[in-house]
Structure 1
Amino acid sequence: MTLKEADPKGLIRESYRIEGITAGECRSIFLDWAINMKPSDDPAAHIHVVLDHYGAAAPDHPMSQVLRDGLRPKPAAKRRGGRAARLSRDS
């Protein structure tokens, strides 16, 4: 995959060029970048491409951290309640 395929609008590239950008702003840019992917795309492959290209020169940049966070394994989904959780087992 090319860098142009991984970051077609240049959002990640531009985030690295903004001086004083915050982690929150980087997360917002990352979200915009991610929602523009095709459903068939592999987000991890795209992240690796842009992180290898831009993150290598700026490992301490907030976008580098956001991209690394995007590669973390997702926590397992848990059931958060429902009718059974609200009812007492003693009833």
Structure 2
Amino acid sequence: MDLDRADPKGLVRESYAIEGITLGECRSIFLDWALSLEAGVEVAGAIRALLAQYGAGATEHPMTGVLRAGLTGAEPPRRRGGRAGRFERG
């Protein structure tokens, strides 16, 4: 995938250039990055392109960890709280 489509604002590229950036800051940048993608851009493909370009040489960078986590699926919800969680729907 083209890096201009994968990182249209250059947010991920800039995050790798910030010295001392924290994990929380990288997560915030990742969210902004995800919201800035054009419609139709495959997120997983964009993440793989960014990891290949920036993450390969920076395995310990917090953004590399955030991008890798972005490739894994979210955990399924466990149960609802309160009364609704105690009663099964059927």
- List alignment gaps of at least 5 residues for structure 1: none
TM-score (norm 1): 0.83
Structure label with greater radius of gyration: 1
Q: CA distance change for structure 1 residues 83 and 39 in 2, over 3 Å: closer, same or farther? A: farther
Closer/same/farther in 2, CA of residues 10 and 82 from structure 1, 3 Å limit:
same
Structure 2: gaps spanning 5 or more residues: none
The residue that corresponds to 1:70 in the other structure is 70
Runs of 4+ in 1 over 3 A off after TM superposition: 81-87
Structure 2 residue aligned with 1:29? 29
In structure 2, give the amino acid aligned to 1:75: E
Name the TM-score, length of structure 2 as normaliser.
0.84
Identical-pair percentage: 57
**Distance across 2 between alignment mates of 1:41 and 1:3:** 12
Aligned to 2:45: 45
Residue equivalent to 1:12: 12
Distance 1:84 1:16, change over 3 A: closer
Query: Cα deviation per residue 1:45-67 (whole Å; 9 max; x = unaligned)?
Result: 11000011100010100000000
Q: Deviations over 1:12-71 (max 9, x none)?
A: 000000000000000010000001123422211110000111000101000000001111
